[in-house]
Amino acid sequence: MITTIQIRNLSFHYTGEERLVLQGVDARIGGDQIVAVLGNNGSGKTTLLLMLLQRLLPQQGEISFLREDGVIGTHLRIGYLPQIEKVPFGFTTQEYILMGRFPWIERFHMPEKADQDKVYEVMQELDILHMARKHLKDVSGGELQKVRIARMLAQDPDLFLMDEPANHLDLKNRVELLKIIKKLKEDKKIVIFTTHDPNDAVEIADRVLLMRQGQKIAFGETRRVLNQQTLQETFDIPITIRMVKRKPYILSGG
Amino acid sequence: MKKKVFILFIGLVLVMGISLFVGRYPRPFFTPLRLVMQDELARTLILHIRLPRLVAAALLGASLALSGYIFQTIFANPIADGGVLGVNQAAGFGAALAIISSGYNFAQVQGSALFFGIVSIIMVFFLSKFIKTENTIINQIFAGIAISAIFSSGIGIIKYMADPLQALPNIVFWLLGDLSSITWRRLLPVVPQIMIGIIILYAMRWRVNALALDENVAFSLGAGKKRETYFILIMAVLLTASVISYAGLVGWIGLIIPNITRTIFGATGQKAIPAALMIGAAYAVFCDTLARTLIPGEIPLGIFTALIGAVLMVILVGSGKIRIKD
């Protein structure tokens, strides 16, 4: 069981490009934590997620997954929700969500009843059972977002990497999503998600990582780290923080 | 679901069974079993001419449909198949090259067809990345057109240079795409390769779904590794090249059958692969039966598969069952 993710001095640039997409990012993420990564477009959020996925390897620094006893662990199921993805043609939503079960099915084996049951369960949880037979290309943006989240839930990974999971979701579904993420934490999962909206972070994140142009502005406990100064530095605009029902509410503008 | 596949299987057996008793001898069209039992020549004809031809047609249809499904899934393109991507022409070029240089050595014809088939699929990969319109499907089709043209002109050159008495007729047979000269001796050497390709892809019918996923998503699911993708792609090329090496250029099956399968059974490999194998086999047997019975002479199989295929394609695209968009 992996309980800590240690990111040390992480730097990355794409081949053929001078610009560093990530520059010396450090963070230590404990188990059963929800971490929000905040930053403007181009701040390196997606690159960081791809590196946590081990899809991209760092040119400098390292990411280690540590077990409880501090030893480096290797066995970690990672789920990834890209911000944009190429969805396959001809597949129904249910068939697509079933593909989340890939890591659980051995080569030359077929999905079994347990896999189908898991798909049914997550579709019920996300209230998308009624579109089970609809084709992926026929559902709306918000529906597709829920289907993609369902695919990730069906995978049942230990670490959830979600790139802008609230994209395309209406207010109701956004609240539902935040609830689902909170529930993942109760199940001892680690969730790292990116967002443009610091209020999502206030709502559910235990830790936040603020990033600007590939550099870490701050990392730490949500309420301690999110203040006017760090947020203005992160988003490069004037920020106002109001207290609403004893929770900070972050607004753009002076 | 199981029921649909079962019905399909019964349908295939029926088509194949009927096809055996349909022909021009001892009388045009259908010959009842009773008559066949009385006529020794008819029995020989069925066992040594119609049966190998039937098996050849079934394997051809199954192989082309399956490889078409794989190409369409990997390239995320419902109108990809060996013909569109240029694999058929390349394999045809390879076979023609072997025919003029080796006479009709079967292993060489096949090896050469496979080699050029693989070369062409690699070319499609790189060329479609090189062409940068906004639509990946258009990029692939462009690449396919270019590659087809290259290998078609190659075939043209070979025809021009070929010995008009010996090699040329062999090559011309091939380009038409037909099964009229199939015998057990000619068919049996290809059967192992085809069976290997079909069995492996059938066994991987769940895994191939990962080919349709976004690369990063597939990666996170521990699937869709490059090596596995290439392996599956090579199996599909192997099937296409093996069929082409004995039947010549028979088009449209790989294009149309996977699309029909998808509209009935859905796109997932566990359902689509068994269905594509059976529908493909039945379709090819049906077309070949028409090809050898409709008139006293012989109409090349490729003409029927293309004619019926094109009509079906227009219907499917027109009714919105095939949607060509990114």
Distance (Å, rounded) from C-alpha B305 to C-alpha A238?
68
Which of these CATH numbers, 1.10.3470.10, 2.40.50.100, 3.20.20.70, 1.10.443.10, describes B2-318? 1.10.3470.10
Distance (Å, rounded) from C-alpha B118 to C-alpha A75?
36
What local confidence, expressed as pLDDT, does residue A69 receive? 79
The tokens of A39 are what? 């930053």
Task: Assess B267–A contact: CB distance below 8 Å, yes or no.
Answer: yes
- Could you list the pLDDT tens digit for every one of the 254 residues in chain A? 778 899 999 999 988 888 888 888 888 888 778 999 999 998 999 999 999 999 999 989 999 888 877 788 777 889 999 999 989 999 999 999 999 999 999 988 999 999 999 999 999 999 999 999 999 989 999 999 999 999 999 999 999 999 999 999 999 999 999 999 999 999 889 999 999 889 999 999 999 999 999 999 999 999 999 999 999 999 999 999 999 988 899 998 87
Task: Assess B210–A contact: CB distance below 8 Å, yes or no.
Answer: yes
Overall pTM > 0.90: yes
Cα dihedral B57→B98→B82→B214 (10° resolution): 130
Q: Across the interface, do A55 and B216 touch by the CB < 8 Å criterion?
A: yes
**Domain A1-76+158-227 in CATH: superfamily?**
P-loop containing nucleotide triphosphate hydrolases (3.40.50.300)
What local confidence, expressed as pLDDT, does residue B151 receive? 95
Q: Across the interface, do B268 and A86 touch by the CB < 8 Å criterion?
A: no
Q: Across the interface, do B76 and A86 touch by the CB < 8 Å criterion?
A: yes
Interface of B with A in 12-71 (CB under 8 A): none
Task: Assess A80–B contact: CB distance below 8 Å, yes or no.
Answer: yes
Mind telling me how many Å the CA of A135 is from chain B's nearest CA?
10
- CB B280 within 8 Å of CB B66: yes
Closest C-alpha to B51, from B243, B305, B288, B277:
B288
Task: Assess A102–B contact: CB distance below 8 Å, yes or no.
Answer: yes
Which sequence spans correspond to the domains of chain B?
Answer: 2-318
Which sequence spans correspond to the domains of chain A?
Answer: 1-76+158-227, 85-156
Distance (Å, rounded) from C-alpha B279 to C-alpha B261?
8
What count of other Cβ atoms lies within 10 Å of the Cβ of residue A78? 24
Task: Assess A127–B contact: CB distance below 8 Å, yes or no.
Answer: no
What local confidence, expressed as pLDDT, does residue A17 receive? 82
Closest C-alpha to A10, from A89, A85, A63:
A63
What local confidence, expressed as pLDDT, does residue B276 receive? 97
Q: Across the interface, do B266 and A98 touch by the CB < 8 Å criterion?
A: no
Residues of chain A positioned with their CB less than 8 A from the CB of B205: 110
Q: Indicate the SS3 state at residue B288.
A: helix
Task: Assess B223–A contact: CB distance below 8 Å, yes or no.
Answer: yes
- Could you list the pLDDT tens digit for every one of the 326 residues in chain B? 678 889 999 999 999 999 988 887 777 777 777 777 788 888 888 888 899 999 999 999 999 999 999 999 999 999 999 999 999 999 999 988 998 887 677 888 889 999 999 999 999 988 888 887 878 888 899 999 999 999 999 999 998 988 888 788 878 877 778 888 888 988 999 999 999 999 999 999 999 999 999 999 999 999 878 899 999 999 999 999 999 988 988 989 999 999 999 999 999 999 999 999 999 999 999 999 999 888 888 888 988 999 999 999 999 988 887 777 65
Distance (Å, rounded) from C-alpha A241 to C-alpha B277?
63
Interface test with B, best of A52, A55, A102 (most B CBs within 10 A): A102
